[in-house]
Amino acid sequence: KNQVEQSPQSLIILEGKNCTLQCNYTVSPFSNLRWYKQDTGRGPVSLTIMTFSENTKSNGRYTATLDADTKQSSLHITASQLSDSASYICVVSAGNTDKLIFGTGTRLQVFP
């Protein structure tokens, strides 16, 4: 069964600290993996999209990594800001279906 699991479910950090969010997937065949940021009461916004051949992709203070062999991805946030408080959703697309498989997200709270 195609699944995307994220950990931790929630995370609290202090402003200025770094953090890493994890995503494990069992989707096959793999096409690409995306990280989205979803602010409370808003729709998801894309941070990165990575294909099989990409190991690392950055978007400002956000860096995503992908290990297609172990089927794991991580999202590293550097020097966190209060505006980073949001849910971060890992999404994987399978190469043979018409849908994206969404994880349940990690809820990040950044406190001053």
Partner 1 sequence: NAGVTQTPKFRILKIGQSMTLQCTQDMNHNYMYWYRQDPGMGLKLIYYSVGAGITDKGEVPNGYNVSRSTTEDFPLRLELAAPSQTSVYFCASSYGPGLAASYEQYFGPGTRLTVT
Q: Which residues bind partner 1 (CB under 8 A)?
A: 4, 31-32, 41-46, 49-51, 89, 93-95, 97-105
Closer Cβ to partner 1, 52 or 79, answer by number: 52
User: Which residue lies nearer to partner 1 by CB, 104 or 109?
Assistant: 104
CB of 35 to partner 1, least distance (A): 12
Q: How far is CA 14 from CA 9, 59, 112, in A?
A: 17, 21, 6
For partner 1, the closer CB: 101 or 110: 101
Query: What CA–CA distance (Å, rounded) separates 13 from 81?
Result: 10
SS3 25: strand
